Amino acid sequence: MRTLAEHITRHHRLLLVVFGALTAVCGFLTLLVPINYNLADFIPPEAPSKVATDVMAQEFDDSIPNVRVFVPGLSLSEAVETRQQIEEVPAVQSMLWLDDLVDLKTPLELQDQSLVSGFQTDAGSLFQVSVALDDTVATLAQLQEIATPDGAVEGQLVDLALAQQSTTSEVGTIVVFMVPLALGLLILSTLSWLEPVVLMATIGVAVVLNMGTNIFVGEISFITAAVAGVLQFAVSMDYGIFLLHAQKRHLEAGEGRLKALQSAVVDSSTAILASSSTTIFGFLALLFMSFQLGPDLGLVLAKGVVFSLICVIFFMPALMQVMDRAIAATSHRSFLPSFAALGRGISKIAVPLLAIAALLPIAYVAQGMTDFRYGMGDYPTGSREAADREFIQEEFGRALPMALLVPRGQWGTEHELEQELADLDAVTGISSFQTQVGRLLPAEVLPQEQLSSLLSENYSRIILTVDTAKEGAEAFAVVNEVREIAGRHYPDAYHLTGESVVLEDMRASITSDSVLVNLIAVGSVWLVLLISFRSLLIPFLLVLTIEGAIWINLSVPYLSGNYMVYIGFLVISTVQLGATVDYAILFTQHYVSNRATRSKHESIAHTVKETFGTLLTPVLILASAGLVLYLVSSLVVVSQLGEVLARGALISFALVNLFLPGMLIVFDRAIQKTTWKADFLRSKR
């Protein structure tokens, strides 16, 4: 490693040129990485709703209605003209309005009022529209323009457009807030005004390299695009801090600046590799999710940590060497106080603080009782999207469509199926060949345009309208009822899709992933700790500390009566473990080292003194990153992920300093006996 360090410092200018060129290329490639805004695309390919969607796309030219457009104050003739305007929008595939169901020449007062009220009221007209989801932002803007500012638009199109708008516009805002916050926090842990700039540049280059190389991954999800950069930045900043602190130790030992830098590369590489390994393995556990958002996010985050590792070992020393004189000239005293008194205080109450353990079983149970959502979550309070949905649902009711495909030609069976489906309380409408045309009239004599949305070569399409939210216990119960009924009439021969159907399959996929992903994450981190500490007991204590912090963190939504997006629940379980177990590693490394010359309690006091300030900056950076995501993102799934990330970093830090010390003291003798070549001073206390 010494030879490598010498090569790095000898060829530092070449390294800067190479990294600069790669950063420029990857910065350009970042703009070309395709982003997928539809979570439905990430469910497993064998999921029933995914298969149904693929079959429907092959059999029919249009999708089921995925947006409702309300235009206020229209007469019937004006509504007909507005319909024509909507049909002229390029993405519109088909639409449904009152004139498809009744003869407008007959006065509405003489028509079925339950049918009329679903499309026309005194307030205005409601159009059910099927649109292609290729350019959701432009399509939504066109429909909102037709609806006028006093109108409303709601549906799946709105969800996807919001995801695209938020991801595109808010990433820059997140960076604007995060950079000055991180600079301010880094000043606390550095001894030169320029060292924070070096750290920011190093991890910034790593982030650009990571995001640019996503072009070779293919498309990434909008969640990955929104959070991967800031998460990589936050979880890997401490690698650079390790290098700076190592250089400081060698300078204090009397080495010259160049030799101290080389020695720092050698000394810190082991710690950085151990620290990054736990983080990488924690992220890689997401690859084992069948719900493909996990592999999407896990691969990008793990790749990002690898790039951060490479940049800290190769790019940062080269940059430090070029800026060496300027760094030395802008040195300042440490702004952090001594934490000796805090260390002495914690050492005295460390064992009583083990009472925290009583909270862990409660937190473990509570975190599993949270009210979960499985899609993107709700709209931001006060947003136009929330107001539009509320108005349309109050004026016209909830109308969630499902598409049920059954084999064509079995008209008797299909009629029995439709009658049974109509008896379900949640089903408010059924549209099919039989309800629209009649099974006694041969399909061959009807115009093709009248049949194309209802019949294909192989399937008859039944459009169900249900009065439920798109997800939740009620919605999922209806999905399973429809599947059970269809399965009895058409065993293994039907296909069902729709927004609530996709979310039910998403729920099944994500929840089935939970146990496996957590076991892999915990097991891989435990194995890395086993190798690093050469101890059987230490990995258990460290994993228990961080898992306890995760349980407490994830129990907060239940205890506060709030719902949580399950994607965030599952992702944070691995991200918090991988990102914050480093705190416990550093603390325990110092404790084991101090035990060679100090008693148990003295070692705890000295360890807190040594590590509290070192850990404080990366903890606050990670918490700040989460806070920025929480405050800036208008996507609930991203905002909640930021909230639990910020809270999780602080809880992990608290347990490492308040709970772990007591366990190290209580299990001190057992640690010595289960650790290879442990050199502990015999303690009298």
- CATH code at position 200: 1.20.1640.10
Q: Are residue 28 and residue 70 in the same domain, yes or no?
A: no
Q: Are residue 224 and residue 295 in the same domain, yes or no?
A: yes
Q: Are residue 109 and residue 224 in the same domain, yes or no?
A: no
Residue 453 has pLDDT above 90, yes or no: no
CA distances from 516 to 56, 371, 523, 551, 574 (A): 32, 21, 10, 17, 11
Largest CA distance in the chain: 99
pLDDT tens by residue, 628-642? 999 998 888 889 999
Q: Are residue 329 and residue 221 in the same domain, yes or no?
A: yes
Q: Please tell me which residue, 513 or 51, carries the higher pLDDT value.
A: 51
Q: Are residue 250 and residue 315 in the same domain, yes or no?
A: yes
Q: Give the residue-averaged pLDDT of 59-68.
A: 89
Mean pLDDT, all residues of the chain: 90
Domain boundary among 480, 504, 528: 504
Q: What residues have CB less than 8 Å from 501, skipping those under 6 apart? A: 48, 49, 52, 402, 479
Q: Are residue 198 and residue 301 in the same domain, yes or no?
A: yes
Residue 617 has pLDDT above 70, yes or no: yes
Task: Give the pairing type, strands 495-498 and 400-407.
Answer: antiparallel
- Residue 660: CB atoms within 10 Å: 26
DSSP type of residue 35: E
Residue 359 has pLDDT above 90, yes or no: yes
Backbone phi and psi for residue 415, each to the nearest 5 degrees, phi listed first:
-65, -45
Q: Give the residue-averaged pLDDT of 346-359.
A: 94
Q: Are residue 19 and residue 101 in the same domain, yes or no?
A: no
Look up residue 249 and give its two tokens.
Answer: 């130790």
Q: Is residue 624 within 8 Å of residue 617, measured between CB atoms?
A: no
Cα dihedral sign for 166, 172, 174, 177? Answer: negative
Please name the helix (run of DSSP H) or strand (run of DSSP E) that holds residue 371, with its range, or none. Answer: strand 371-373
Q: Please tell me which residue, 451 or 374, carries the higher pLDDT value.
A: 374
Least confident of 186-195, 480-489, 491-500, 601-610: 186-195
CA dihedral 251, 618, 223, 378 (to 10 degrees): -170
For residues 19 and 205, give the distance between their C-alpha atoms in angstroms, rounded to a whole number. 8
Instruction: Give how many domains the chain has, as a whole number.
Output: 3
Place of tokens 């200018």: 13
Residue 441 has pLDDT above 90, yes or no: no
pLDDT tens by residue, 238-293? 899 889 988 888 888 888 888 999 999 998 888 888 889 989 998 999 999 988 99
Looking at residue 242, its pLDDT comes to 87
| Long-range contact set of residues 509-513: C-beta below 8 Å, sequence gap at least 24 | 509/43, 509/44, 509/47, 509/289, 509/290, 509/291, 510/289, 510/291, 510/374, 510/566, 510/567, 510/570, 511/566, 512/290, 513/288, 513/289, 513/290, 513/291, 513/294, 513/570
Looking at residue 219, its pLDDT comes to 93
pLDDT tens by residue, 74-111? 999 999 999 999 999 999 998 889 888 788 888 888 78
Say if 547 falls within a structural domain: no
Q: 677: left (phi > 0), else alpha (psi -120 to 50), else beta?
A: left
Say if 455 falls within a structural domain: yes
Domain boundary among 155, 172, 205: 155
Single out the residue of 91, 82, 158 nearest to residue 119, CA to CA. Answer: 82
CA distances from 186 to 150, 171, 179, 192, 198 (A): 49, 22, 10, 10, 10
Task: Give the pairing type, strands 371-373 and 563-565.
Answer: parallel
CA distances from 109 to 78, 83, 119, 334, 336 (A): 18, 22, 14, 81, 78
Task: Give the pairing type, strands 124-131 and 120-121.
Answer: antiparallel
Domain boundary among 469, 504, 539: 504
For residues 407 and 490, give the distance between their C-alpha atoms in angstroms, rounded to a whole number. 8
pLDDT tens by residue, 533-547? 999 999 999 999 999
- CATH code at position 115: 3.30.70
- Residue 447: CB atoms within 10 Å: 7
Q: Is residue 657 within 8 Å of residue 343, measured between CB atoms?
A: no
Cα dihedral sign for 583, 589, 593, 594? Answer: positive
Q: Give the residue-averaged pLDDT of 373-400.
A: 87
Q: At what angle do helices 636-658 and 566-594 cross, to 10 degrees?
A: 20
Residue 383 has pLDDT above 60, yes or no: yes
Looking at residue 683, its pLDDT comes to 53
Q: Are residue 328 and residue 400 in the same domain, yes or no?
A: no
Q: Are residue 320 and residue 221 in the same domain, yes or no?
A: yes
**Residue 402: domain span:** 384-504
Instruction: Please tell me the pTM assigned to this model.
Output: 0.88
Q: Are residue 145 and residue 280 in the same domain, yes or no?
A: no
The SS3 call for residue 32 is coil
Number of H helices, E strands in the chain: 27, 13
Looking at residue 274, its pLDDT comes to 83
Q: Are residue 28 and residue 74 in the same domain, yes or no?
A: no
Q: Is residue 370 within 8 Å of residue 554, measured between CB atoms?
A: yes
The SS3 call for residue 679 is coil
Q: Is residue 356 within 8 Å of residue 659, measured between CB atoms?
A: yes
Looking at residue 444, its pLDDT comes to 52
Residue 685 has pLDDT above 70, yes or no: no
Around 108, how many Cα atoms within 13 Å sit in the side-chain half-sphere? 15
Please name the helix (run of DSSP H) or strand (run of DSSP E) that holds residue 641, with its range, or none. Answer: helix 636-658
pLDDT tens by residue, 156-191? 999 999 988 888 888 889 989 999 999 999 998 788
Say if 610 falls within a structural domain: no
Say if 109 falls within a structural domain: yes
pLDDT grade for 438, boundaries at 50, 70 and 90 = low
Say if 365 falls within a structural domain: no
Say if 583 falls within a structural domain: no
Say if 590 falls within a structural domain: no
Look up residue 525 and give its two tokens.
Answer: 């981190």
Looking at residue 442, its pLDDT comes to 52
Place of tokens 């509320």: 390
Look up residue 266 and give its two tokens.
Answer: 């050698």
Looking at residue 440, its pLDDT comes to 47
What is the percent of the chain where pLDDT is above 90? 63
Top-confidence range, 235-244, 423-432, 651-660: 651-660
Say if 87 falls within a structural domain: yes
Q: Give the residue-averaged pLDDT of 203-215.
A: 97
Q: Are residue 323 and residue 422 in the same domain, yes or no?
A: no
